[in-house]
Amino acid sequence: MEPVRRTAAVSLGFDDWISDTSIDKKQFVEKTKSALEARGYVHLTGQFSLSDYENIANKLGTVFLTTDIRVIEGSRPNDVASSVAFRFHTDSRCARFISWYCVTPGNKTEPTILLDLGDLTDRLPESVCHPLSKIQVAGTEPDRAGPIMWMSETGTRLNFIPWRVAAPANSNEEQALVKLQELIVAKATHFHEAIAILLSVGEILFIDNHRVLHGRPELDKQTARHLKRFWISEDPEEKNRWSQSQASY
């Protein structure tokens, strides 16, 4: 994992949550959405309850998958339950937002690391972006395959899981993939844009999964780190589709 800087997160606090007297916490949710739109992530500080976490997440979309992220001895090397480091990536293309709730914090050397690629089309020319829109990232049902980047009504969206990227079909695609990887390294190292966020008990982190990459360093095999992760979709039918599948993630 590339060197990172530790910085104050785009944050809201538990005091903001309890002081919001609007119906269904509308003001707090709008602030959360605004932070996600502006910076691609938001760190909710203070001791939120698991019920609070579920409440906020379900106002951002449909929670279609819940995963307990903690080290389990004997897990496969590429499994989130292993202690291995994960390089920068997005999660399932189906998840517009990803969130983590801290049940038990890890060691100080075990943060979640973020890298915003919201400026991708500003940093890379069309001659690179176009081939990236052709390179596929595999997905096994109920997950969905799709290109590394695509355009939506709200702008460019990203789908980058390095270990699932298909082999480039030609030299243009091969060079574009190299340029993307070089940009990721440059943003994290030369430009010091990677951000490390270490969650405390009851804190929450939301990210825009179609914009912000995330990763983590290697974890201590005996770490107490326990995060509850939600995958959140803009499609209300996503939960039904995933619940009908026997796939394990």
Give the side-chain half-sphere CA count within 13 A for 240: 3
pLDDT score at 2:
46
Asked if pLDDT for residue 8 goes beyond 60, the answer is no
pLDDT category at 136 given cuts 50, 70, 90 is very high
Supply the pLDDT for residue 249.
Answer: 43
Q: State which amino acid sits at residue 2.
A: E
Mean pLDDT of the chain: 93
Please tell me the predicted confidence (pLDDT) of residue 247: 47
What pLDDT shows up at residue 5? 47
- Can you tell me the distance from the alpha carbon of 113 to that of 175, in angstroms, rounded to the nearest whole number? 26
Query: Does 3 score more than 50 pLDDT?
Result: no
Sketch out the chain's domains with CATH numbers: 8-236 (3.60.130.10)
Instruction: Specify the pLDDT at position 23.
Output: 86
Sheet holding 41-45, edge to edge: 11-13, 41-45, 204-208, 97-104, 226-233, 62-70
For residue range 21-53, list pLDDT tens digits in order: 988 999 999 999 999 999 999 999 999 999 999
Q: What percent of the chain has pLDDT over 70?
A: 94
Helices (H) and strands (E) counted in the chain, each on its own, are 7, 15
**pTM, full prediction:** 0.93
What are the tens digits of pLDDT across the range 141-191?
A: 899 999 999 998 888 999 999 999 999 999 999 999 999 999 999 999 988
Angle, in degrees to the nearest 10, between helices 50-60 and 26-39: 70
